[in-house]
Amino acid sequence: MGYPRKPHARETVLLSKHFGDADARTYKGWVKRGGYEMLAQALTMEPARIIDSVKESGLRGRGGAGFPTGLKWSFMPKEKKKPHYLCVNADESEPGTFKDREIMRWTPHALLEGAAIAAHAIQAEVVYIYIRGEFTEPWAVMEKALAEATAAGVFGAIKLHLHRGAGAYICGEETALMNSIEGKRGNPRIKPPFPAAAGVFGMPTTINNVETLAAVPLILKKGAAWYKGLSLASPKSTGTKLFSVCGHVQNPGNYEVTMGFPLKDLLYDLCGGMPPGRTLKACIPGGSSVPILNREETESCLLDYEGVVEKGSMLGSGGVIVFDDSTDMVYQIMRLARFYAHESCAQCTQCREGTAWTTKILERILSGQGKTADLDLLLDLAENMTGKTICVLSDSCAAPVVSGIKKFKKEFEDYVAGRRKPVMVA
């Protein structure tokens, strides 16, 4: 989707308001739009007051897990005995998710301002912004924005650094990201200790997603009560959320809606529905790591943390992948498994072996060599891959497989029984 894009009447554009507006990415342009006023105010405030306000707003992490942001900040030691750090997770490698890169491309100062406010709230003097290696343009925009804002002296004693990743999905996992910043291999760490106790360089650390932090200046500006009021269904899900919609819709792209917005309306109204002559078959609502919804579940799903869980999936990072009735679900699930097998850090046996064998078995089924027992074997593997590893990459590979077999079993059986033409999987 190109920018500037006229927002749909049913969108609530807060974070994406300036997408496409080149002037807003300059320091002067951002200040003209009221930028950095909230940071100046926050730097005069007691950190605890900022944390209380974010807690009251109901803001939850937009990186995938949906953990309450103010609560996370409150875990940092109150008494400062060691240096504190803030890490910004700008790795965004989850298939189907493409919103953080747009925040960085178009409103870099919203992220910088939110990060500096968060740093003050958790008493961190250093912020690392960990940017995915492939993000060439967002990197350049962020570099320029950081240089301009630093020269203007808006960050006070807080030092912000950009750190470029090397293109590994696993480095988006918070503890792998910290290892990567330290110059180590990006392997996730066993928790506890949690980052607030021992994070980057062994020091108390908070890590937040780009979209989470970009919302913070707005919360301070308009008030926690206002933000909390942005909620169409569950009071536990507040604010707006950017949904990256891709796949079989007529108008894919990023859409910003209030929490609780119906998924059906997002797909049929905002995104223009399926291609002509096609009908909806399935949808992955929260990036590739979450269970697949069938058509009925998709069409009755409300887009907030509780609404998506109610349908058996998760809101995750808000990457909505849409499949129409022309889709070969077995093939799509194999492609996802292949991604996880490629990206596994290989530290845990269940993940290293599980993702590889899942891929192999799916390839076998697709190539016409599958056996009836393969479906049970896949489910058995998935069970051994879930809840048993240091991080949830393994679980993420298992989720689409289990939900796929449950909801589209006939497609698997057709391959095994030779009722479907084998496909090339190389």
Based on the shown chain and the rule CB under 6 A, indicate whether residue 101 belongs to the binding site for ligand FMN: no
Based on the shown chain and the rule CB under 6 A, indicate whether residue 209 belongs to the binding site for ligand FMN: yes
> Coil, helix or strand for 70?
helix
Rounded to 10°, the helix 349-366/409-416 angle is 60
Name which position in 58, 64, 195, 316 contacts ligand FMN (CB under 6 A): 64
Tell me the β-bridge partners of 243. Answer: 255
Name which position in 91, 102, 297, 324 contacts ligand FMN (CB under 6 A): 91
Name which position in 89, 205, 231, 240 contacts ligand FMN (CB under 6 A): 89
Could you say which residues in the range 363-402 bind ligand FMN, by CB under 6 A?
391-393
- Answer yes or no: are the C-beta atoms of 325 and 408 closer than 8 Å: no
- Answer yes or no: are the C-beta atoms of 146 and 112 closer than 8 Å: yes
Nearest-angstrom CA–CA distance, 244 and 228:
23
What is the smallest separation between the CB atom of 296 and ligand FMN, expressed in angstroms? 29
Name which position in 17, 18, 25, 62 contacts ligand FMN (CB under 6 A): 62
Residue 314, phi-psi category: left (phi > 0), alpha (psi -120 to 50), beta (remainder)? beta
- Dihedral sign, CA of 202, 208, 214, 217? negative
Residue 313, φ and ψ in degrees, nearest 5: -130, -155
Based on the shown chain and the rule CB under 6 A, indicate whether residue 207 belongs to the binding site for ligand FMN: yes
Could you say which residues in the range 124-153 bind ligand FMN, by CB under 6 A?
none
Based on the shown chain and the rule CB under 6 A, indicate whether residue 104 belongs to the binding site for ligand FMN: no
Interacting stretch for ligand FMN, rule CB under 6 A, among 41-49, 155-163, 164-172, 301-309? 164-172
Output 263 or 392, the one with its CB closest to ligand FMN.
Answer: 392
Would you list the DSSP string of 287-335? STTSPPEEHHHHHT-EESHHHHHHTTS--TT-EEEEEETT--HHHHHHH
Output 208 or 298, the one with its CB closest to ligand FMN.
Answer: 208
Interacting stretch for ligand FMN, rule CB under 6 A, among 7-15, 61-69, 75-83, 150-158? 61-69
Output 164 or 278, the one with its CB closest to ligand FMN.
Answer: 164
Based on the shown chain and the rule CB under 6 A, indicate whether residue 173 belongs to the binding site for ligand FMN: yes
Please give the DSSP secondary-structure letter assigned to residue 68. B
Based on the shown chain and the rule CB under 6 A, indicate whether residue 170 belongs to the binding site for ligand FMN: yes
Long-range pairs, 142-148, Cβ under 8 A, ≥24: 142/104, 142/108, 142/111, 142/112, 144/25, 144/108, 145/25, 145/26, 145/27, 145/108, 145/109, 145/112, 146/108, 146/112, 148/26, 148/27
**Token pair of 419 as six digits:** 């009722």
Based on the shown chain and the rule CB under 6 A, indicate whether residue 92 belongs to the binding site for ligand FMN: yes
What is the smallest separation between the CB atom of 352 and ligand FMN, expressed in angstroms? 14
What is the smallest separation between the CB atom of 114 and ligand FMN, expressed in angstroms? 11
Q: Parallel, antiparallel, or unpaired: how do β-strands 319-324 and 240-247 relate?
A: parallel
What is the smallest separation between the CB atom of 340 and ligand FMN, expressed in angstroms? 9
Output 178 or 203, the one with its CB closest to ligand FMN.
Answer: 178
Based on the shown chain and the rule CB under 6 A, indicate whether residue 67 belongs to the binding site for ligand FMN: yes
Residue 377, φ and ψ in degrees, nearest 5: -65, -45
Residues of the shown chain interacting with ligand FMN in the complex, contacts defined by CB under 6 A: 61-65, 67, 89, 91-94, 169-170, 172-174, 207-209, 212, 391-393
